[in-house]
Amino acid sequence: DQQVKQNSPSLSVQEGRISILNCDYTNSMFDYFLWYKKYPAEGPTFLISISSIKDKNEDGRFTVFLNKSAKHLSLHIVPSQPGDSAVYFCAASDGSGTYKYIFGTGTRLKVLA
Amino acid sequence: EPEVTQTPSHQVTQMGQEVILRCVPISNHLYFYWYRQILGQKVEFLVSFYNNEISEKSEIFDDQFSVERPDGSNFTLKIRSTKLEDSAMYFCASSLLPTGSEAFFGQGTRLTVV
């Protein structure tokens, strides 16, 4: 049962343009969402998070948007840089007493110089 | 900046052998996790740990797996009798709260079972 889905396995973007990575979820109990960036053979690095009480959170070049009614979130990177090339995972947790983060399958972003 | 550290970075073991993967979580964090990623697949939850006991575990975390916090700083994952399909990257993570806060991950241990 894939509760967190990233339907685009890969994305290529020109340097300086916007990268938009999408994530859908099925569990309406999820109330906290995170984006992680991962390089090969390294651990996931936390990027940005959003609580379900918000619909937008911004941190520098990274903005996460949450649409609860559509059970959809997206990560915008503006402007994209070659160093942003990595695999991006969205993850979700719920506040109903579970103690885990559910990860999506990841989207490989390639920023072209 | 505080970080989660894992040792070893790479472990090769024979099928049927026991392995212990070690982690030092961030010092003021209270919740600890193990995840794994089989090559090319998604990051999968194994187990969470709080107050010296397992809070939650996945179906992957069967009787061959165990976790321990032997002292105030280390958090270990033991696989009693390794199988070929246990080959994966194993990530330790820690967080201050069980939900609503970020989990920070270590660099991972690549386990290769031969």
Residue B39: its pLDDT value, please? 86
Which whole number is the average pLDDT over A16-31?
A: 95
Distance CA A25, CA B35 (A): 20
Q: Are A32 and B103 within 8 A, CB to CB?
A: no
Residue A1: its pLDDT value, please? 63
| pLDDT tops 80 at residue B6 | yes
Which residue, B49, B16, B38, B20, is CA-closest to A103?
A: B38
Residue B9: its pLDDT value, please? 95
Percentage of residues in chain A having pLDDT higher than 70 = 98
Tell me if chain A has a CB within 8 Å of the CB of B65. no
Residue B88: its pLDDT value, please? 96
Out of B6, B48, B105, closest to residue A100 by CB:
B48
pLDDT digits 0-9 by tens, A44-85: 999 999 999 999 999 999 999 999 999 999 999 999 999 999
Q: Which domains does chain B have, with CATH numbers?
A: 5-113 (2.60.40.10)
Residue B101: its pLDDT value, please? 77
Which whole number is the average pLDDT over B91-105?
A: 86
Tell me if chain A has a CB within 8 Å of the CB of B52. no
Q: Give residue limits of the domains in chain A.
A: 4-112
Q: Are A41 and B110 within 8 A, CB to CB?
A: yes
| pLDDT tops 90 at residue A41 | no
| Cα dihedral sign, B2-A42-A39-A89 | negative
Q: Which residue has the tokens 């109903």?
A: A96
pLDDT digits 0-9 by tens, B16-73: 999 999 999 999 999 999 999 998 888 999 999 999 999 999 999 999 999 999 887 8
Distance CA B80, CA B63 (A): 8
Q: Closest residue of A to B48, CA-based? A: A99
Superfamily name and number for A4-112? Immunoglobulins (2.60.40.10)
| pLDDT tops 90 at residue A25 | yes
Which whole number is the average pLDDT over A103-111?
A: 95
Q: Are A103 and B110 within 8 A, CB to CB?
A: no
Q: For residue B106, which phi and psi values (nearest 5 degrees)? A: -80, 180
Q: How far is CA B53 from the centre of its chain?
A: 14
CB contacts, 8 Å: B100 with chain A? 31-32, 51, 93, 95
